[in-house]
Structure 1
Amino acid sequence: MNIKTLVKGAITVTKSNFGQHSLPTTKNKLWVLMYHRILPKDDPRASLEEPGMIVTPDTLNMHITELKKLFEIVDLEDWLNRFKLGEKLPPKACAITFDDGWLDNYEYALPILKAHQAPATLFAVANKIGTCFRFWPNIVIELIAMGAHNQLRLHPMFEQATQLAKHAFSAESAAECIKQLKKYSEDEIYTALNSIEWQESFNQSRPALMDWQQLNEMQASGLVNTGSHTCSHRRLNKELSESALQQEVVESRRILQQKLGTEINLFCFPNGDYNEQAINLTKQNYLAAVTTQRGINSAQRLKTHEIHRTALHNDISDTPSKFRARLAGW
């Protein structure tokens, strides 16, 4: 064991034992956890996903077990309503959130939530539920993993992906490629992918996202509250037109309310991207919105439409000590 590993371990232990989560407080703090995919390590879908997107079912179960020792686990919307009404709040509260509407959330997360009777919020991409839609990062990763360099080289946007596809697959390298591609808009990326006819290379028999029946079942459990994650997962930045912004923020709420028969009051910014116009529009249509900015929320300084979250994936949180260190807030 080298010095770097020893130092890293010591820091983890310190953060685990002395972070804000471990201290008594009366300051009404709110931790909001951000999850994406819940997949066993041996699930074939896990090998074609960015490492920072996955938590295993065992790890999620351990997380909730630890949370119950540290916090009052709350429904995010319920906590926000209590905050808005000036009601008494728990000193240390934690809300669980899942982004996108992945089928594996229904398969693996829901049974764990039921076992613990733990509430959660699922942010669904309204126009993609119940379809064979694939997010562009997953398309690019799978093309790289397949070694489809001849196909990728048909469009200059995928030059880096083309080079990666010529070598042994590495999820970390593919994730770096995804990061570089984010300089383009979703519309530009999907247009480029369609130009190389990516669909011909894929077996789309198993959907990536859940369908409406499954989402309704999660909602009907009494544990899962649904929020909007836009219509199509386009990033809400300056590149997006005003009409497109309206579609993503306002229309997504209407669709979800119609399909689920319930009020949709929470919003989640795709990729954590937003501008002033997006903030203003969410304020007009939603009780609150969550970001990808890391941090612990305080009722005394809360920005209801820029709520901070703590992102989690397996590599950084697969032991109780590492998980608690992630919650430390410093």
Structure 2
Amino acid sequence: MATVYQTIPQLSQPHLLTLADYSAQEILDLLDLAIKMKKPENKHRPLLQGKILGMIFEKSSTRTRISFEAGMLQLGGHAMYLNTQDTQLGRGETYGDTARILSGYLDGVMIRTFKQEAVVELATNSTVPVINGLTDDYHPCQVLADFMTILEVFGTLKGKKFAYIGDANNMSNSLMIGAAKVGMDLSIATPAGYAPNQWVIDAAEGFAKESGATLTITTDPKEAVNDAHIIYTDVWASMGQEEEAAERLAHFEGFQVNEALTALADPNYIFMHCLPAHREEEVTTAVLEGPHSVVFQEAENRLHAQKALLVALMADPSIEI
């Protein structure tokens, strides 16, 4: 049988700041490309031969740095690590000025930082693609990997019930936007006082109306998990919140994802976590290492989903995959 090729997905926006930037079809096209990129025969396709990605880090990283760096190498390009303390950003140069400088040297920029406004300022002043590798508000690259994993397991996103248990943070924000875009029903359970910001809820509800998805915000983990196909959690104290860890531990009592809670889900549910996990806090080891867990498949898919994104943003659009 002849090999079937496809052209690179054409994205309507030159940057990825949040998943709200892209249509549902664009997200699905990226996921389709990611699944193709994961095939062994496509691992070392030099689709970004000679291209250079600058990677700005203001937050520590394992998965983000290694997956982007490995992805660029596998695609025939190069990734350049830029710690802000080793650049003039650490001495007060603006993100706007930095973007104008880097645009003359690089073919793309990925940034992992605190404030979403920093990513926006960088993209506004850049003539090369800018990718949000994580901010306090959003983590879109992780959600692309999450959705890719769900597609590998279930074959579809639309109509699946997704339950998020724990802190309303950058992960829940991005999952709300992404799920609403692609038509997944999402239930979020957080302790009182830790609910998602209203501006995220409003945005997600708007996208849900378009896709037919439902969005439920509750303080009852059992309600959220009931009949869920996907159960997702994250650490209760994110980077920068370490001083709140003890207080949060008390407030999040009853929100641990354990075998008693997961027994309420669909019998074929999968468990997901963006990692790193604090075992026996937000999730038990029995669930994290259990037969329903796909966390390490999900972690590997950061590489493949981001390679698809890099290709879509940086490769010659006439290339066939």
Fold-level match, TM-score > 0.5?
no
Structure richer in helix, relative to its length: 1
TM-score, structure 2 length as denominator?
0.29
Point out which structure has higher relative CO (alpha carbons under 8 A, 6+ apart): 1
TM-score, structure 1 length as denominator?
0.29
